[in-house]
Amino acid sequence: MPHRETSAMSRNARRPRLAVITATALAAVALSTIGAGSAQAASVATWDKVAQCESTNNWSINTGNGYYGGLQILKSTWDAFGGRAYASYPHQATKQQQILIAEKILAGQGAGAWGSCGSAAGLAYDHADPYPGDTAPPAPVSKAGDVYHAIRATDGSWTPFQALNGYAGAAFFNASQESIAATPDGSTQTLATGNDGNLYHTARYTNGSWSGWAALPGFGGAATFAAKDQAMTGMGNGDAHVMAIGNDGKIYQNTRFKSGTWAGWTGVGSWQAKKIAVAGLPDGSTQTLIVGNDGNVYHAVRAVDG
């Protein structure tokens, strides 16, 4: 469902619970509305009434409850209806941009998406175009290689896969390779090789938020680190250890500390390799496997003292 059951401010009226819609279904709805025109619409004045009920007309509100902006739009709904063409989150977009995406939601899900706030504002009966001649952009379209994330709960159930936001405001992150590692605090660390060949990192925290992609600085003061292959493992102390094969074919290591800082790249001898894998052990050591340039498999241990 796209919106919270109660407004950003406490109120007595509770909206009915809407049916749960998977990200895939939402994306299908969003795509079906592109270029078709809104079956429903509402004036800016009516949207202002909805926003007054939802957020006391605070179009930049983010209370940390998973719903954002003046119209309290759920992040996954914002993404599915093309909001990321404007901003990563609803509250980061302008009022006009939030309303343009809300028009698409209204066309796809009806006024009931805003429950009692939509009813009180007369959202279902106002068919005016809020911004004549200005339409929301089409929803971004995913392509092969875009990175998605899902969670498998302890009972064996899965959450729907959700696309990860791209680098620097892009709608998707397209990668040729990715690695994921868990750390004891319950967060996950994701390493991806972008289409430019460089390594990028993002962290997912226990509250479900993401740090956003950041490019890893390169070796010896270079701006970025390009890699032919990469691997990552979580460590018992909360760090994450990264191994990579640089474009020169040599092996490099890096550590992301629990604090979020990085140790920086160091070379590992004069070895060269085509593939690499790494695993962390409870004692703080790591085990690394490589496929050498001769096609043979080799093993090395990194001791606790480094």
DSSP-assigned states of every residue in 195-227 = TTSBEEEEEE-TTS-B---EEPP-GGG-S--BE
Taking 90 as the threshold, does the pLDDT of residue 230 lie above it?
A: yes
**Is the separation of the CB atoms in 44 and 57 below 8 Å?**
no
Taking 80 as the threshold, does the pLDDT of residue 17 lie above it?
A: no
In the predicted model, what is the mean pLDDT of the chain? 84
Taking 90 as the threshold, does the pLDDT of residue 29 lie above it?
A: no
Residues 158-174 have a mean pLDDT of 83
Task: Tell whether 199 and 289 lie within a shared domain.
Answer: yes
13-22, 34-43, 109-118, 169-178 — which is least confidently predicted?
13-22
Which residues span the domain enclosing 66? 23-121
Task: Tell whether 117 and 225 lie within a shared domain.
Answer: no
Here the CATH number for the domain that contains residue 59 is 1.10.530.10
How confident is the model at residue 40, as a pLDDT? Answer: 61
Task: Tell whether 190 and 104 lie within a shared domain.
Answer: no
Nearest to 46 by CA among 114, 136, 109, 135: 114
Task: Tell whether 188 and 280 lie within a shared domain.
Answer: yes
**Highest mean pLDDT out of 8-22, 38-52, 156-170, 195-209:** 195-209
Task: Tell whether 115 and 186 lie within a shared domain.
Answer: no
Taking 80 as the threshold, does the pLDDT of residue 157 lie above it?
A: yes
Taking 60 as the threshold, does the pLDDT of residue 143 lie above it?
A: yes
**Distance in angstroms (rounded) separating the CA atoms of residues 239 and 147:** 23
Domain boundary pick from 57, 86, 121: 121
How confident is the model at residue 202, as a pLDDT? Answer: 93
